[in-house]
């Protein structure tokens, strides 16, 4: 049985201020860097065979903490980038609600936002393709760690598992530096083995944007 770990990046100042990041390349803050180190100390126990990351710095710098412990090099895949939020990027969610009330209503109800915001369908497809490619880097029975983003992780996993959008909305957002463990076997294909795992259980959950 092979294992795929889908790991959300550490905290950023924009996470802390509930500001929409999307594909803006926001760096980790001091808390995020420490979260990456703490999480890596847990993930190294899973004996990863490969590490793949989004090329955005908040993800790649998170992956670097595990690479430093494992001695593995990091492969980068742009398909693992966060959802593109268009004109929302850089705004707080309060500002989004004021400036784009119709889009914000659709977002909060789980519908497609429209405008220049990437569709959930497109997001899920591109991230799941990257997850498939990453899984192929490990030997049979091996483990791959993929570092990505909140919305990207949820939609990519959902597309991989064939879940409808309504079912995905029942999942709580991943906390910073938490991960999802997926297992794969010939008999059962992909399954969720664990969700929202990590060293921090009492912190508020920033929006996965």
Q: Which of 9, 104, 149, 159 is catalytic?
A: 9
Q: Is 10 annotated as a binding residue?
A: yes
| Cα–Cα separations (whole angstroms), residue 205 to 95, 147, 177 | 19, 18, 11
Q: Is 9 annotated as a binding residue?
A: yes
Residue pair 134/101 in contact by the 8 Å Cβ criterion: no
User: Max Cα separation, the chain?
Assistant: 50
Lookup: tokens for 207: 């929006």
SS3 label, residue 169:
coil
Is 104 catalytic? The answer is no
Neighbouring C-beta atoms of residue 204, cutoff 10 Å: 9
Q: Is 58 annotated as a binding residue?
A: yes
Q: Which of 41, 82, 112, 178 is catalytic?
A: 82
109-130: b (≥16 Cβ within 10 Å) or e:
eeeebeeebbebeebbebbbbb
Q: Is 13 annotated as a binding residue?
A: yes
Closest CA to 195 of 165, 150, 162, 159: 150
Neighbouring C-beta atoms of residue 206, cutoff 10 Å: 21
Residue 75 phi, psi dihedral angles, 5° rounding: -95, 140
The CA distance from 54 to 194, in Å, is 22
Q: Is 178 annotated as a binding residue?
A: no
Is 9 catalytic? The answer is yes
Binding residues for substrate: 8-15, 58
| Residues designated as active site | 9, 82
Binding residues: 8-15, 58
């Amino acid at each position: 049985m092979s294992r795929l770990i889908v790991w959300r990046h550490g905290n950023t100042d924009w996470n802390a201020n509930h500001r929409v990041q999307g594909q803006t390349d926001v760096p980790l803050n001091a808390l995020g860097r420490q979260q990456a180190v703490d999480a890596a100390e847990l993930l190294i126990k899973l004996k990863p065979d490969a590490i793949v990351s989004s090329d955005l710095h908040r993800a790649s710098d998170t992956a670097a903490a595990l690479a430093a412990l494992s001695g593995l090099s990091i492969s980068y895949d742009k398909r693992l980038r966060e959802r593109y939020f268009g004109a929302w990027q850089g705004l707080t969610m309060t500002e989004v609600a004021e400036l784009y009330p119709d889009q914000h209503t659709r977002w909060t109800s789980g519908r497609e936002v429209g405008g220049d915001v990437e569709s959930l369908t497109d997001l899920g497809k591109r991230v799941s393709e990257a997850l498939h490619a990453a899984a192929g880097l490990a030997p049979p029975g091996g483990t791959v760690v993929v570092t990505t983003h909140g919305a990207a992780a949820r939609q990519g996993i959902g597309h991989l598992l064939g879940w409808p959008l309504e079912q995905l909305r029942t999942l709580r957002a991943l906390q910073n530096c938490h991960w999802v463990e997926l297992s794969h076997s010939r008999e059962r294909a992909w399954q969720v083995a664990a969700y929202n795992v990590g060293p921090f259980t009492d912190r508020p959950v920033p929006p996965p944007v």
